[in-house]
Structures are given as C-alpha cells and as structure tokens.
Amino acid sequence: MEERARPTEMSAARNIVLGVTGSIAAYKAADLASLLTKQGCSVHTVLTADAKRFITALPFKTVTRHPVVTDLYDEEEGWQPTHIRLADEADLLLIAPATANVLAKLAHGLADDALSCIALALNPKARVLVAPAMNGKMWLHAATQANVATLKQRGVEFIGPEAGMLACGYEGIGRLWPVTEIARRAAELVA
Ligand SMILES: Cc1cc2nc3c(=O)[nH]c(=O)nc-3n(C[C@H](O)[C@H](O)[C@H](O)COP(=O)(O)O)c2cc1C
C-alpha cells in the first residue's frame, strides 16, 4: 500500500519549524518550504497574522504535506497544544522572512501569537536561524540592530539581509537572502 504523509505528526529527525512573517518577501518562503522538503526535512509552517496578508497557507500545506499553523487557538486532535509540540520536537526554528517586528518580539520575549510562543518554548537543542527582510532604514535602525545583537548573543544565527533593489522602492540593504542559500544553511544546521 502507498505510504502516505501523516499530517499531524513530526518525523523523528530534521524537523524544521518554518516561521513566515508579514514581509513582501513572504511569497519566497513557499519556495524555501519546497526546497527544504525536497532536501528530506519535515517542514512545519507557522504563518503570522500579517504573513497571511501576503500569502495563504495553501502552498505551504501542499508542498510540505503538513498542516500549517495560522492561529494559536487552532488546535489539532490530541491534548497537547500544537505550538508546544512543535517547540518540543523542532530541530531548527527557521524564520524567513523575518520582519523587524518579529525580531523585536523575539528579543524582548513577547508571546502573543503561535510563532513567538514557539520561539519562547523552543527545546534547548533546537537551533534558530533567522533571515530578515525589510526596508533598509528599518534594518539599520538602532532599535533593530540592538534586537539583532541581543538575539545573536543568545545564539540565534542570522543569514542576510543582502543589498539590492527593495520592494519598497529603495535600493540598499534589506533583501531576503537567496532562498537556495537559506535552505542550504538550514540543512547544514539539522544535519
Ligand atoms: C506592503 C507591505 C510590505 C511590508 N514589508 C515588510 C518587510 O519586508 N519587512 C518588515 O519588517 N515589515 C514589513 N511590513 C510591515 C509588517 O507587515 C508589520 O510590521 C507587521 O506588523 C509584521 O507582523 P509580523 O511580524 O507579526 O508578521 C510590510 C507592510 C506592508 C503593508
């Protein structure tokens, strides 16, 4: 009989929680989810409320063959809250694209949605890889740079952003790092 993906369980190894936040680059995260899945990772996507303004859950659900978390209160079958199970079983929390807002939330320990709760509840063995994408002034702002420094001190790894033409019309630093390279680094971290 054909082996079917079991949507509510994480596999034993290489579990990636992919957090997608409200950036214009959110559409690129679907490619990233696909690349990671093809690399053999079990990808569990979490969309913030603002990410849903840019992309729907459907492409992620389809390419990863796992349900997508879009609401802290959307609980699946079973007793354990989904965000705690994902945090317990993750090998890597990858946030791509990461907004200035989510960096601030992570740096300050806010927990007002599924993604920020997962980040706080993350098991200590899991690595955290963050790929920021934002307007250059937002990235270079002292507040954002202080949040980045705080997160780096806690062991969070950053990939990008890169310089180039930004969706907001400016040229400069703030573009999401190429998804092929984010996928390659994520695979290295869970190898
Ligand atoms: C068209 C548009 C594009 C945006 N792009 C970005 C972006 O690339 N990076 C960013 O930090 N914020 C961006 N924002 C602002 C975020 O969506 C906003 O800060 C939001 O609160 C982020 O929520 P989240 O971090 O929970 O996803 C954008 C907003 C709009 C309307």
CATH number at residue 56: 3.40.50.1950
Q: Is 56 within a domain?
A: yes
Q: Is 34 within a domain?
A: yes
Residue 83 has pLDDT above 70, yes or no: yes
Give the integer Cα–Cα distance in Å for 184 and 118: 23
Q: Is 5 within a domain?
A: no
Among 18, 20, 24, 117, which is best to mutate for testing ligand 1, by the most ligand atoms less than 8 A from CB? 24
Minimum mean pLDDT range among 45-49, 70-74, 128-132: 70-74
Q: Any idea which residue has 């702002």 for tokens?
A: 141
Q: Is 3 within a domain?
A: no
Q: Is 1 within a domain?
A: no
Write out the two tokens for 65: 């063959």
Q: Is 7 within a domain?
A: no
Q: Any idea which residue has 């690595």 for tokens?
A: 127
Q: Is 172 within a domain?
A: yes
What is the pLDDT at residue 164? 86
Instruction: Read off the amino acid at residue 132.
Output: P
What is the pLDDT at residue 4? 40
Enumerate residues 6+ apart whose C-beta is below 8 A from 59.
30, 33
Write out the two tokens for 1: 């009989």
Query: Which residue ranges have their beta carbon within 6 Å of ligand 1?
Result: 21-25, 48, 50-51, 99-102, 133-134, 138
Q: How far is ligand 1, taken at its centre, from the CA of residue 153, in Å?
A: 25
Please tell me the residue having the least CA distance from ligand 1 atom 16: 22
76 falls in which pLDDT band (50, 70, 90)? low
pLDDT tens across 130-176, in order?
Answer: 999 999 999 999 999 999 999 999 999 999 999 888 777 777 889 99
Q: Are strands 162-165 and 171-175 parallel, antiparallel or unpaired?
A: antiparallel
Tell me the residue range of the domain where 185 lies: 15-72+79-190
Q: Is 2 within a domain?
A: no
Q: Are strands 127-132 and 157-158 parallel, antiparallel or unpaired?
A: parallel
Q: What is the chain's mean pLDDT, rounded?
A: 91
Number of domains in the chain: 1
Phi, psi for 128 (deg, rounded to 5): -125, 125
Residue 180 has pLDDT above 80, yes or no: yes
